[in-house]
Structure 1
Amino acid sequence: MDTFIEVFALQAGFAEMAIRGTTMYWVLYALLRISGRRDLGSLGMADMLVLVLVADAAGNAMSGDSYSMGDGIIVVATIVGWSYLLDRLGYYAPPVRRLLEPQRVCLIRSGRVLASGLKREHITRSELMEQLRLKGIANLAEVERAYLESNGEFSVIRAPRASGDGPSTLDDDDRSD
């Protein structure tokens, strides 16, 4: 029974672990928010490596090299608590949601690519055309609007009665078939 109690005994203290968890949550949140949203939709090998390394570094910083289960539970509960609180605040207070989540960015309007949107999100024309092809779009005339959404996904609103006379989505493809 004493061993069980020792495993859950706090080594660093409740306040220290809550402060560590809160600090790391907000630092990582800010860094991920600044780094852009486009990578959220899909994780490449380099992205996965960064995620694992960040998790390991953050875990060490949050725990303060503590091996106590109690300390770990406090840190995890703090992180989950912040996530829950921000989710609820975003739902009930739209100004908070607008502050915490990026706005969607228009990339195509009436079949014309908006260079300002691509530049803002660091998306190449080839990447945009790839996303359109994945959505079944053969040429730009088929697109009334295309957006990069706040979650990093691309959304497309098809043009009514598209003539198919616009530029092909294959025009700027760097790869050969």
Structure 2
Amino acid sequence: MTDMLFQGWGGILRTILVGTLAYGLLVAALRSSGKRTLAKLNAFDLVVTVAIGSTLATVLLSSDVALAEGVTAFATLIGLQWIVAYASVRSRKVARLVRSEPQLLMRDGEICVDALRRERVTQDELMTVIRTSPTSDPDEVAAVILESDGSFSVIPRPEGGGNANYARAGLSVGG
């Protein structure tokens, strides 16, 4: 029972020392790799962020993983993230492989049923998104977009009846 609560000072000192070094090296690596490394712009970015956190936890808590191995894992994840982001900016094919496009789920009060089905979003979930937005009335919604990072954007109808919000959202107004 005592081992569950305290296993000795060696483990605590290791956690403090390795944690401090790993934290410092991770911060330095993230700063040098740029803001994109931790951006959650798409599912790939989220996976890398979670993997970095998981790696840090493993380095901190597992005495079987040396600091050098953890730093190598950080460098590998950050390097791969950088390579994929670099390639996706320069190649539409790579970008399509790693990023999803925003999807219009509702337009002018009309639900895009096929889009909901493709994105596996129910009409109840769509209504919840609208109710929790500043524009809580579906009749006042110009569009609901499922963004590439999985968040929802609710765009209110323009007050003057114009198309300004469509243009600002990058949506086409015709058809």
* TM-score, normalising length: structure 1: 0.51
Determine if the alignment matches structure 1 residue 72 to structure 2 residue 70.
yes
The 5 Å alignment of 1:97-116 reads: 97-116=95-114
Of 140, 156, 164, 1:142 maps to 140
Question: RMSD of the alignment, in Å?
Answer: 3.3
User: C-alpha separation between the residues in 2 aligned to 1:146 and 1:86?
Assistant: 29
Runs of 4+ in 1 over 6 A off after TM superposition: none
The 5 Å alignment of 1:117-128 reads: 117-128=115-126
Of 122, 127, 130, 1:129 maps to 127
The 5 Å alignment of 1:1-177 reads: 55=54, 66-161=64-159
5+ long unaligned stretches in structure 1: 1-6, 8-31, 34-39, 41-50, 164-177
By relative contact order (CA 8 Å, sep 6+), the higher-ranking structure is: 1
User: C-alpha separation between the residues in 2 aligned to 1:119 and 1:161?
Assistant: 31
AA aligned to 1:147 is I
AA aligned to 1:107 is L
Q: CA deviation at 1:148?
A: 0.2
Aligned length: 111
DSSP 3-state at the match of 2:150? coil
AA aligned to 2:82 is Y
Cα distance change, pair 126–70 in 1 and its aligned pair in 2 (3 A) = same
1:141–1:162 Cα contact (<8 Å) kept: no
* TM-score, normalising length: structure 2: 0.51
5+ long unaligned stretches in structure 2: 1-17, 19-42, 162-175
1:146–1:156 Cα contact (<8 Å) kept: yes
Q: CA deviation at 1:153?
A: 1.0
DSSP 3-state at the match of 2:158? coil
What CA deviation, in whole Å up to 9, does each residue of 1:92-112 have, x standing for no partner?
A: 334322221011111102211
User: C-alpha separation between the residues in 1 aligned to 2:156 and 2:122?
Assistant: 21
DSSP 3-state at the match of 1:79? helix
